[in-house]
Amino acid sequence: MTLERWERAAEWPLIVISVLFLAAYSVQVLASGTAVKVAGWFMAVTWGLFLVDYVVSLWLAPRRLSWFFRHLHELAIVVLPMLRPLRLLRLVTLIGVLQRVAGNALRGRVATYVVAASGLLVYIGALAMYDAEKASPEASIKSFGDAAWWAIVTITTVGYGDLSPSTGTGRVIAVGLMIGGIALLGIVTATLASWLVEKVSAEDSNSQAVTVDHLELLREEIRALRLQREAIPSAVPEESTSGAHALP
């Protein structure tokens, strides 16, 4: 068994586990009673599965130390339960615009990634914030609706200030969501800039092509005029000679 084969075999099972984990985490935060206990047990099982995947991947890596430092996010997903649903972003990599050129397909994947990542970060951030703030007597975020509104305002870097975390855990979540929002805005800006540059380059290429065609037409006209000019002097002596022979 190689690392590549293990990753291919574990890809879809881990995605399914991530979806189920997100559902269980939602139940644990939003529900009450027996459902919370069941969700807690299920989340513990998923943690064990993520841990198995991490250990096996590390063991199969040809250069374990290098793999460890290049996959610190995998370690964070195992250690920090709130990050496990981020594995859902792997679904986006399976979406391709197969019938377009490479540039458009790349931008399509980037746009899809940004939309999916934004929605996922908002939902996870709202869940985590509500989970951290709901037990605090000083909290201004008192419902999941408040948490969702706060997450949208935060990830878009608007920051109205009407809602804010009051606990240390909530502030840590806020910092992470702010960084994620800035990163997503950077991706959107870079994608838009790439699209504009390509459009301008295409216009320049079209203009250059038209200019080249015009120059070629002018060259053809100049060649034709030169041929006509060369033909005129040779015709005059012939007429003169024929006229001289015609005299008695």
Whether 73 and 165 share a structural domain: no
Whose structure tokens read 């005129």? 232
Vertex 150 angle, CA 117 and 95, to 5°: 10
Note whether residue 225 is domain-resident.
no
Whether 81 and 110 share a structural domain: no
Note whether residue 198 is domain-resident.
yes
Task: For residue 190, give the amino acid letter.
Answer: A
Domain end call among 51, 85, 119: 85
Whether 119 and 79 share a structural domain: no
Nearest to 133 by CA among 163, 176, 160: 163
Note whether residue 242 is domain-resident.
no
- Cα separation, 155 vs 98, in Å, equals 31
Whether 37 and 102 share a structural domain: no
Q: Residue 49: count other Cβ atoms within 10 Å of its Cβ.
A: 16
Residue 149 token pair = 């509104």
Domain end call among 163, 179, 203: 203
Question: What per-residue confidence (pLDDT) applies to 156?
Answer: 84
Whether 100 and 198 share a structural domain: yes
Whether 79 and 115 share a structural domain: no
Q: How many CA atoms lie within 13 A of 128 on its CB side?
A: 24
Question: What per-residue confidence (pLDDT) applies to 234?
Answer: 54
Q: How many domains does the chain have?
A: 2
Whether 99 and 80 share a structural domain: no
Whether 197 and 117 share a structural domain: yes
Whether 81 and 101 share a structural domain: no
Q: Which CATH number goes with the domain that contains 126?
A: 1.10.287.70
Whose structure tokens read 């807690």? 40
Note whether residue 43 is domain-resident.
yes
pLDDT block averages, 10 residues each, the chain of length 248: 88 84 88 88 87 91 91 79 57 41 54 76 90 89 93 86 89 88 80 75 67 75 78 56 48
Whether 182 and 162 share a structural domain: yes
Whose structure tokens read 């586990």? 17
Domain end call among 44, 59, 85: 85
Whether 21 and 73 share a structural domain: yes
Residue-number span of the structural domain to which 165 is assigned: 95-203
Whether 114 and 186 share a structural domain: yes
Note whether residue 221 is domain-resident.
no
